[in-house]
């Protein structure tokens, strides 16, 4: 497992391997497709430097309105 610690104290981990059955089938590619995709791969540098996360703010706004 690839373990990462976030600044807020949370910890998450990801599998670094892909496992297959003897016939070559894999089952690790299931995910939930997001409703909204960001326009860029990274937050703008100005936001990161200011400690702002507009993507998280939007997600929280959308979650609170549903």
Distance in angstroms (rounded) separating the CA atoms of residues 65 and 58: 11
Bridging pattern class, strands 2-5 and 11-14: antiparallel
What pLDDT is stored for residue 36 in this prediction?
80
CB contact set of 19 (below 8 Å; sequence gap of 6+) = 26, 28
What is d(CA 14, CA 56) in angstroms, rounded to the nearest whole number?
21
pLDDT given for residue 24 in this prediction:
86
Structure confidence at residue 29 (pLDDT): 67
Higher pLDDT, 29 or 64: 64
- Average confidence (pLDDT) over 3-19: 87
Cα 22 → chain centroid: 30
């Amino acid at each position: 497992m690839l373990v990462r610690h976030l600044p807020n104290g949370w910890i998450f981990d990801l599998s670094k391997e892909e496992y297959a059955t003897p016939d070559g089938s894999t089952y690790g590619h299931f995910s939930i497709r997001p409703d909204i995709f960001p326009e860029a791969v990274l937050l703008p540098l100005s936001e990161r430097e200011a400690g702002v996360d507009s993507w998280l703010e939007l997600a929280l706004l959308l979650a609170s309105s549903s």
